[in-house]
Amino acid sequence: MVITSATNLVQELASFRERKTIGFVPTMGALHEGHLSLVRQAKAGSDVVVVSIFVNPTQFNNPEDLKNYPREPEADIKKLKLAGADIIFTPTEKEIYPEPDTRIFDFGAMDKVMEGFYRPGHFNGVAQVVKRLFRLVQPQLAFFGEKDFQQLAIIKALTAQEQLPLHIVACPTVREPDGLAMSSRNLLLSATQRAHAPLIYKTLQEAFGKVNSTTVPALKKWVQTTIDANPVLETEYAEIVDAHSLQPITEWNEADSIQLCIAVYAHPIRLIDNIKLK
Ligand code: PAF
């Protein structure tokens, strides 16, 4: 069932609230296998699966990026029905933001690095829309991909800060056969860029193999140099961070759990990926 009005969504879900587990997958559409794997995981763990498709303007700090973001509503709805989504919520901007959202969230140092640093305001916009969607859907479970590693940490922080009674389920990154992390933005790559893009994950994997034989700064530098030697790719950042605080580290013993996160331009397309190093 496709629902566009927030009021109808709330009414429809009211009948399930008492007895059923509601699982929620928020998306911005242009759905690929990565999104569908979230839907399948939601299906396995919940009685009713709600998927939203909403390209949230408040999380785009670049108007061109918002304008060019791929939109394929009909194909998305078909894919979601096949994957077993029960309710597909496709609100208009007015439904989500009847008034402009001026709320400023505070995530401390967590959103001052990586995506938060290079896309100022991005996570505030993500928090605005996710908070609103959570309030409408009131799921017990919400599913997010590990590809957006920093987003996942921010959503967990949001849920804790707002004391929301729901569990955030982290789902593994789904990759193309050549290793490229699935992303709606892959649709925007030229054939040449697409052919070179698998170097990103190949480099992350090789970096994982070097952890015991090199220092943190040297590995970071190696990753950046390897990507930048490619004619169509350019690193925006390669950070080795504490997987919980997301703060960059300089020594392997500074954190129990360590992630290498990367943002790479295949101009003007921006791709992100990450790998667990420890
Ligand atoms: O990851 C996304 O697609 C978006 O950031 C989200 C979580 C749907 C919020 O707009």
Report how far ligand 1's centroid is from the alpha carbon of 235 (Å). 23
Residue 251 domain-assigned? yes
pTM of this prediction?
Answer: 0.96
Residue 244 has pLDDT above 90, yes or no: yes
Atom of ligand 1 nearest to the CA of 130: 9
- Sheet strand arrangement including 87-89: 2-3, 87-89, 48-53, 22-27, 141-145, 167-171
List the residue whose alpha carbon is closest to atom 2 of ligand 1. 27
Residue 28 has pLDDT above 90, yes or no: yes
Residues 260, 223: contact at Cβ < 8 Å? yes
Same domain, 257 and 144: no
Does residue 59 line the site of ligand 1, with CB under 6 A? yes
Tokens 């054939």, located at residue: 191
Average pLDDT over residues 67-87: 96
Residue 18 has pLDDT above 90, yes or no: no
Q: Number of folded domains in the chain?
A: 2
pLDDT of the residue at 126: 98
* 35 is known as an active-site residue: yes
pLDDT of the residue at 19: 87
Average pLDDT over residues 262-275: 97
Residues 27, 52: contact at Cβ < 8 Å? yes
Residue 157 has pLDDT above 90, yes or no: yes
Which range of residues forms the domain containing residue 257? 184-273
Instruction: Please give the radius of gyration of the chain, using alpha carbons only, rounded to the nearest integer.
Output: 19
For residue 93, the domain's CATH number is 3.40.50.620
Does residue 126 line the site of ligand 1, with CB under 6 A? yes
Residues 160, 152: contact at Cβ < 8 Å? no
Q: Where are the alpha helices (DSSP H) in the chain?
A: 6-14, 33-45, 63-68, 73-83, 93-96, 114-118, 122-137, 149-161, 191-196, 199-210, 216-228
Residue 179 domain-assigned? no
Residues 92, 1: contact at Cβ < 8 Å? no
For residue 191, the domain's CATH number is 3.30.1300.10
